[in-house]
């Protein structure tokens, strides 16, 4: 299964690379592209096997996202959002999950941030809210909407709890807000729900609080989400380096008979960029492998390993941005034209760096843990 997924990712990456301009213009992925990733098994990588998913190792899934992003960053981004969203089916009642995951091509996507309010009304909940960064939601069958869940019958001092509500796509009002600098093809538009009735069985973690004891679900959802951002970022960086190396063989500066590849400055900068990307990638996959070995042994991924995973992920994103900047700057004026893929890689990576899961504050959290200080680890 792992080999098939990686082969599918390589095949799709080559195909999608030819359509990046189309994705950017549409500001979302076309239905046939989303369907191709679904049929390739990418969207069900984190769905429980009991429902027809594959419960793919994070080692393999990260390579899938990285490979897709080398072809087109938006495709890699939507892939990891959909795969991570699929893991939510492990936290709702089995019969409801089976109805939602009606076929292996079912796609889930959504937003974890609790920007909605779900108020109990009888056996159901009335949901209202508006969410940003709805990557891939326009192609999804079911949409996750993070919300504060409120029961009016609870004591006045009871604190609302954050849960994700699963709602059918047809109930969603999509807003045309995704006018971004990069990752345009992700379709990360706002979406809205007004007085939508949500059955309690469709609220993730409300009635089913315990995760399955299989290896994949020893990884917290936040960890899986962050790993996807790191994988996509490394894919963008690799694509930028490859693009520049091809360009450097031919481009000459004005009044120079030598190509930019023959300049000592270029050689030193590219060597440094390669070392930076490969080092970040080694730390990333080493951290994933160690955590996966622990999960395979039947243990939960502990705080130290979650710390390492988050640090490796944030570092991978930061290092990838530096690598893309290097390639962009070395290429000179050609980088600014839309005909150059380098300008797209530059825009894409600098949108990826803005995700809260890899914000600089994650360095503070992980640094506190390394220093043995009391630390809030809820988002690790």
Cα 364–chain centre separation? 22
- Please tell me whether residue 362 adopts helix, strand or coil conformation: helix
Fold for the domain defined by 219-370: Butyryl-CoA Dehydrogenase, subunit A; domain 3 (1.20.140)
Express each pLDDT in 206-258 by its tens digit: 999 888 999 999 988 889 999 999 999 999 999 999 999 999 988 877 777 78
| pLDDT reading at 1 higher than 80 | no
Name the residue with tokens 């609220």. 203
Kindly report, as residue ranges, where domains of CATH 1.20.140.10 are found in the chain.
219-370
The residues that bridge with 143 in the sheet, in sequence order, are 109, 167
**pTM of the full predicted structure?**
0.96
Contact 307, 283 (CB under 8 A): no
Query: Please, which pLDDT band fits residue 380 given cuts at 50, 70 and 90?
Result: confident
Q: How many CA atoms lie within 13 A of 80 on its CB side?
A: 31
Contact 236, 69 (CB under 8 A): yes
- E strand or H helix that includes residue 343: helix 341-352
Q: Cα–Cα distances in Å, from 81 out to 69, 198, 375, 377?
A: 13, 22, 27, 22
Contact 144, 88 (CB under 8 A): yes
- Closest of 264, 284, 276 to residue 324, by C-alpha: 276
| pLDDT reading at 157 higher than 80 | no
First to last CA, the chain: 29
**Rounded (10°) CA dihedral 112, 283, 354, 9:** -70
**CATH architecture for the domain at 2-91:** Orthogonal Bundle (1.10)
Cβ atoms within 10 Å, residue 202: 24
Query: Please, which pLDDT band fits residue 160 given cuts at 50, 70 and 90?
Result: confident
DSSP 152: T
**Average of pLDDT values for 109-116?**
96
Q: Which two tokens stand for residue 121?
A: 């009304």
Q: Give the separation between CA 237 and CA 343, rounded to whole angstroms.
A: 12
Query: Please, which pLDDT band fits residue 277 given cuts at 50, 70 and 90?
Result: very high
Kindly report, as residue ranges, where domains of CATH 2.40.110.10 are found in the chain.
110-204
**CATH architecture for the domain at 110-204:** Beta Barrel (2.40)
DSSP string of 262-304, one letter each residue: GSHHHHHHHHHHHHHHHHHHHHHHHHHHHHHHHHHTT----HH
């Amino acid at each position: 299964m792992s080999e098939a997924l990686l082969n599918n990712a390589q095949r799709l990456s080559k195909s999608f690379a030819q359509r990046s301009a189309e994705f950017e213009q549409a500001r979302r992925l076309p239905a046939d592209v989303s369907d191709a990733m679904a049929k390739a098994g990418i969207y069900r990588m984190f769905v429980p096997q009991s429902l027809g998913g594959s419960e793919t190792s994070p080692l393999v899934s990260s390579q899938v996202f990285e490979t897709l992003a080398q072809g087109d960053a938006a495709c890699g981004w939507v892939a990891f959002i959909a795969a991570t969203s699929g893991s939510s089916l492990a936290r709702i009642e089995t019969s409801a999950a089976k109805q939602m995951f009606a076929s292996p091509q079912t796609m889930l996507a959504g937003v974890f941030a609790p920007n909605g309010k779900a108020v109990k009304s009888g056996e159901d909940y009335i949901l209202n809210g508006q969410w940003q960064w709805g990557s891939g939601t326009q192609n999804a069958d079911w949409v996750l909407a993070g919300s504060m869940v409120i029961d009016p019958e609870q004591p006045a001092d009871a604190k609302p709890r954050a849960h994700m509500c699963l709602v059918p796509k047809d109930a969603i009002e999509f807003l045309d807000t995704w006018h971004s600098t990069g990752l345009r093809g992700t379709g990360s538009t706002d979406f809205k729900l007004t007085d939508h009735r949500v059955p309690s069985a469709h609220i993730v973690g409300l009635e089913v609080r315990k995760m399955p004891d299989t290896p994949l679900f020893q990884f917290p959802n936040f960890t899986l989400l962050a790993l996807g951002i790191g994988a996509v970022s490394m894919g963008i960086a690799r694509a930028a380096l490859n693009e520049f190396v091809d360009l450097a063989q031919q481009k000459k500066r004005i009044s120079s008979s030598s190509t930019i590849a023959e300049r000592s400055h270029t050689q030193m900068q590219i060597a440094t960029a390669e070392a930076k990307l490969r080092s970040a990638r080694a730390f990333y996959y080493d951290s994933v492998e160690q955590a996966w070995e622990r999960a395979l042994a039947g243990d939960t991924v502990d705080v130290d390993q979650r710390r390492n995973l988050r640090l490796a992920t944030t570092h991978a994103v930061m290092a990838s941005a530096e690598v893309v900047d290097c390639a962009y700057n070395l290429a000179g004026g050609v980088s600014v034209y839309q005909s150059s893929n380098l300008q797209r890689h530059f825009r894409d990576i600098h949108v990826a760096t803005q995700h809260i899961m890899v914000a600089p504050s994650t360095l503070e959290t992980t640094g506190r843990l390394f220093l043995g200080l009391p630390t809030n680890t809820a988002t690790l």
